[in-house]
Structure 1
Amino acid sequence: MSFLKRPNDFLFRTLVIVASVSLATLSLLVIYSVVMRYVFSDAPDFVEPIALLLVIVIAMFGAALKVREGGHIGLDSLVNKLPPRGQLVATAFQHGCLIVFAIALFFGCLQMVEATMEDRIPIIGLPESLRYCVPVIASVCIAMFSLENLLALFAQKQK
Structure 2
Amino acid sequence: MPAPLQWLFKAFDVFVVIGMAIISLLIFTNVVLRYGFSSGIPFAVEVSRVVLVWVIFMGSVVALAKGAHLGVDSLVVRLPRKARIACFLVSYGLMLWCCWLLAKGSWSLTLIEWGNVQALSGIPVGAIYAAGLAAAILMALVLLVDLWRSLRGILPAPWSGVEHVEPLPVVSPALNSEKAP
Same fold by TM-score greater than 0.5: yes
CA separation in 2, counterparts of 1:31 and 1:44? Answer: 11
Residue identity opposite 1:151 in structure 2: W
**TM-score of the superposed pair, with normalisation by structure 1:** 0.85
> Within 2, Cα distance between the matches of 1:157 and 1:51?
40
Unmatched segments (≥5 aa) in structure 2: 156-181
Across the aligned residues of Structure 1 and Structure 2, the Cα RMSD in angstroms comes to: 2.0
* Number of the residue aligned with 2:148: 151
Name the counterpart of 1:124: 121
TM-score, with length taken from structure 2: 0.76
Instruction: Output the CA distance in 1 between the equivalents of 2:71 and 2:150.
Output: 16
Larger radius of gyration: 2
The one-letter amino acid of 2:97's match is V
Select the residue among 17, 21, 27 that pairs with 2:24.
Answer: 27
Give the % identical residues: 21
Between Structure 1 and Structure 2, how many residues are aligned? 154
Match of 2:9 in 1: 12
Shift of 1:133: 1.3
Q: Which residue of 1 aligns with 2:175?
A: none
Q: CA–CA distance in 1 between the matches of 2:102 and 2:27? A: 29
User: Which structure 1 residue ranges, 5 or more long, are not aligned?
Assistant: none
> Alpha-carbon deviations, 1:120-147, whole Å to 9, x = none?
1121112111111121111111000011
Higher helix share: 1
